[in-house]
Amino acid sequence: MTTATEKEERGWQQILRENMMSPVDICRICGLADEELAKITALYPVKINRNLNNSSEAVMKQFLPSLFELNNTGEDDPLAEVKYEKVSGIIHRYPNRVLFLVTNICASYCRFCTRRRLVGKQAGLNDRKIAAGIKYIADHEEIDEVILSGGDPLILSDVKLKNILTALRAIPHIGPIRVSTRTPVALPERITGALIEMLQQFHPLYLITQINHPDELTAKSDAAIAGLVVHGISVLNQSVLLKGVNDQCEIMLRLVKKLIERRVRPYYLHQMDPARGTLHFRVPVKKGKEIITYLRENIGGYAVPYYVFDDPQQKAKTLLYP
């Protein structure tokens, strides 16, 4: 007999498999010819949840492919992660913490993704490589924090995610665990009761969302976020500054107000990483500073994110504006 938990898990997995926009629909919306879309997808896979189809232009712009992506400017690995990869999936750049890339799959693929060289092109780490990553962390006592990322870690099944978290929590020198995810807005059905109950077992644990525009906060995403925060899971948000999406002072103010209302802390505003084929989304630093100044003048300091640039040559994020 199928349990309610199993039904929940099958439900979001079915959406992930079956509720994706077709190439025909994507071409119709974008005004692309079939061969143009084929050129883009040959370089960077395209995947858009049909639920996003009724979203605003600013939301859709984050997911719809563009011929600008064929521009060869930018870098394949803008954060030099290959340089800092110690074993498969373990990026050890900062002294006390590691990035653990546990999958290359997401609910939908953002067109400005830093790891677009990897995302959607393979499933990610098998059990053997996951075990090797956990061993690396266990063997390095200077590591006291782990950030699960990818891809999107919440695309993993509850069982696989629980196995990873259990192994990490068993390491005595590991404190906070962060889980980076877009699912509260890209696939809110993933935030099931069973997932929330499981995550509660691994505190201190923080969920790091990426919500870039106030229109991404819908009734479904609100329910997903409420389920997390009501059950004691802290949610922080890291937005990416994107041209034509959130590079206006008023839009960013609306976003941080909505986040605070939902008990989500606006943590970072990222200057977008210069990944290849994404530079049409880049916003001048001057504009980013203008937005932060506006926020500081119009909302309490607790709601103003840090404006940061991720410089692979540094051992800490570069603060562009306090």
Return the active site residues.
Answer: 93-94, 97, 106, 110, 113, 115, 273, 310, 317
Strand order in the sheet with 85-87: 85-87, 90-91, 97-101, 145-149, 177-181, 205-209, 234-241, 265-271, 306-309, 318-321
Distance from C-alpha of 196 to C-alpha of 201, rounded to nearest angstrom: 9
**Residue 46 exposure: Cα atoms within 13 Å on the Cβ side:** 25
HEC string of 232-280 equals: CCEEEEEEEECCCCCCCHHHHHHHHHHHHHCCCEEEEEEECCCECCCHH
User: What tokens appear for 184 in the block?
Assistant: 């509260």
- Residue 75 DSSP one-character state: B
Q: Are 192 and 8 contacting, i.e. CB atoms less than 8 angstroms apart?
A: yes
